[in-house]
Structure 1
Amino acid sequence: MSEAVTSGGDAFVREGGCRCGAVRLRIRARPLLTMACHCTGCQRMSSSAYSLSAAIPSAAFEVTKGEPVIGGLRGASQHFFCGHCMTWMFTKPEGIDFFVNLRPTLLDDASWFVPYMETWTGEKLAWATTPAVRSFAALPPEDAYGDMIAGYAATWEGGDMGGRGG
């Protein structure tokens, strides 16, 4: 499928979908923050060393095709998957309605993505590294998020495309 991409000024539109294409989505804003999570739960859910997330403002996130299903852990935080290919697509964190944690590699073009912070490094596999500029043994303290969101936004303002040249 074709991807709509605009990245000048405030316009930032990206499209993507699951592996089989049954579920498609669109984001219309730059992420608030990008992350890699090394917790053992994410390792198991992603079948990888860590999971990647882009915190997308909820108002700028939409499913444009298909119906994601809830899977993974069925607690207060909801993990959404494609019901056909079972791709883990996004998470709606418990008690936090203003953003959706999107798996950024689902976007048709994720070349801009770089994790700004990494969490749960206390559980990471010894060889797993990321280029994140902020690192936390568990979750960051709540009062750290404002500075991190501002720091990540500055990477875009500098024309750095979220940490990657461009």
Structure 2
Amino acid sequence: MHPEQKEQIIMDDRKLPWDGGCRCGQVRLRISAKPILTMACHCTGCQKMAASAYSLSAAIPSDGFAIIQGEPVIGGLHGASRHYFCPYCMSWMFTRPDGIDSFVNLRPTMLDEPSWFVPFIETWTSEKLSWVSTPAVHSYKTLPAFDEYEGLVKEYLTRAG
């Protein structure tokens, strides 16, 4: 990570709501609350589900997230975390972590305008591909300790403005 990346603007001033959808457009969503944290996950599960080096997430408060068209379906492992996909194009759109109803992990590339997105933390770097780097401010070999999240959210929101 380059030192100048730590001070970058994390989010622009675009006015809410933000709309988005899957690749084919059959499922559309609306975000009416700014993210409380942004992430890149390097775990091998995310690598396989995203068919990429890592997955990206923006934690959106649940009351600021709505499906406005279509009906996503649960896919992936069908386990503790529920991964939602478009039933037609199978785009991985968002995840609802088991037992945590306060936020939705949106794949930010589902937004019509995702250029503001920058991961603030990166997780599971112990499983990342050797050539991968992100501009994340904080890196974790696995996940942050549960008691670290409050401080991370506060720091992210302070930097995001």
TM-score, structure 1 as length reference: 0.88
Partner of residue 132, structure 1: 136
Partner of residue 94, structure 2: 90
Partner of residue 80, structure 2: 76
**Matches of 1:132 and 1:86, distance apart in 2:** 28
Between the two structures, name the one with larger relative contact order (CA 8 Å, sep ≥ 6). Answer: 2
**Matches of 1:12 and 1:129, distance apart in 2:** 30
8 Å CA contact 1:7, 1:13 repeated in 2: no
Partner of residue 28, structure 1: 32
Q: Which contiguous aligned blocks of 4+ residues in structure 1 show a shift greater than 2 angstroms?
A: none
Partner of residue 147, structure 2: 143
TM-score, structure 2 as length reference: 0.90
SS in 1 for 2:149: helix
SS in 2 for 1:91: strand
- The counterpart of 1:45, out of the listed 49, 60, 69, is 49
Partner of residue 59, structure 2: 55
1:15 is aligned to 2:14? no
User: What is the aligned length?
Assistant: 150
Q: CA RMSD in A?
A: 1.2
1:106 is aligned to 2:148? no
SS in 2 for 1:118: strand
Structure 1 stretches lacking a partner, 5+ long: 1-5, 158-166
SS in 1 for 2:129: coil
Letter in 1 for 2:90: M
SS in 1 for 2:147: helix
Structure 2 stretches lacking a partner, 5+ long: 1-11
**Matches of 2:13 and 2:139, distance apart in 1:** 28
